[in-house]
Amino acid sequence: MSTIRVLGAGRAGRSFSLALSSAGHRVLGPLTRADDPLEAATGTDALVLAVPDDELAHVAASIRPSTTCCVIHLSGSLGLDVLDPHPRRASMHPLVPLPNAAVGAARLGAGVTMAIAGDPLAGELAASLGATPVSVADEDRAAYHAAACVAANHVVALLGQVERIAATIGLPLEAYLGLSLAALEDVRALGPRGALTGPARRGDWATIARHLDALDEAERAGYGAGVALALELAASDGAVVAPPATVADTTR
């Protein structure tokens, strides 16, 4: 097992600290913004940089390089060049939300998919967590991370819209969560095309027009974007005709 120091005490840093410790590694830290990072790579096999993307290059440059320490970042969107001062560098990015340390650690140890690049030690650490590794080229990292944001952040944002619309008729978000969970299970079993249902899939334009009339103006753009995505998915399966102009205007 390895000795690992974590730099960053946010949700990702604390989640990885707990998960790696539970996997049997000796975890040092986490270091915080108040600590001098100069010698952070000294006396450890790996240094995990759990800091925001925009700070990574600056933080990495402020650490004295070591030939024996592998410096690892957790960014999904950045390649290894952001760690250029360090001879041994790698990245690990889990495809799972880390909302807090306890939940994050449990998820990291539950066999998640994890993008791995660089020094083999990152793959060894991922394997110790039971992760399923995938390889993503540096030039593909932005697209990879965009898909991850859509898969998690945008879904959460859409459920925020559900909550707002439901509140206008006195219903809680919980009334709709079973519908969302069932739809995700259908995607798992059938794929997005097979799982798609609803008025956009059927070409039921009158229903969509009634939806738009019922919504607050501030919600129509988000709803229209969702209809546009549903139409694109349905069209890829040859399942729908073009909407009338009254609906098409809201999906542009």
For residue 241, the domain's CATH number is 1.10.1040
Whether residues 100 and 194 fall in one domain = no
Domain count, the chain: 2
| Structural domain that includes position 42 | 3-136
**pLDDT score at 29:** 80
pLDDT in tens, 213-232: 999 999 999 999 999 999 99
Q: Which of 79, 71, 73 is nearest to 94 (CA)?
A: 73
pLDDT in tens, 135-182: 999 999 999 999 999 999 999 999 999 999 999 999 999 999 999 999
Over the range 185-221, which residues count as b (16 or more CB within 10 Å of their CB) and which as e? Answer: eeeeeeeeeebbeebbbebebeebbebbeebeeebee
Whether residues 148 and 130 fall in one domain = no
Residue 251 has pLDDT above 80, yes or no: no
Q: What is the CATH number of the domain that holds 50?
A: 3.40.50.720
Preceding amide of 87 cis, omega within 30: no
User: Residue 94 and residue 187: Cα distance in Å, rounded?
Assistant: 21
- Our measurement of the distance from residue 23's CA atom to the centroid of its chain's CA atoms, rounded to an integer in Å, reads 23
**pLDDT score at 1:** 87
Paired with 132 in beta bridges are: 113
Whether residues 150 and 117 fall in one domain = no
Paired with 89 in beta bridges are: 71
- Our measurement of the distance from residue 48's CA atom to the centroid of its chain's CA atoms, rounded to an integer in Å, reads 18
User: Residue 230 and residue 247: Cα distance in Å, rounded?
Assistant: 13
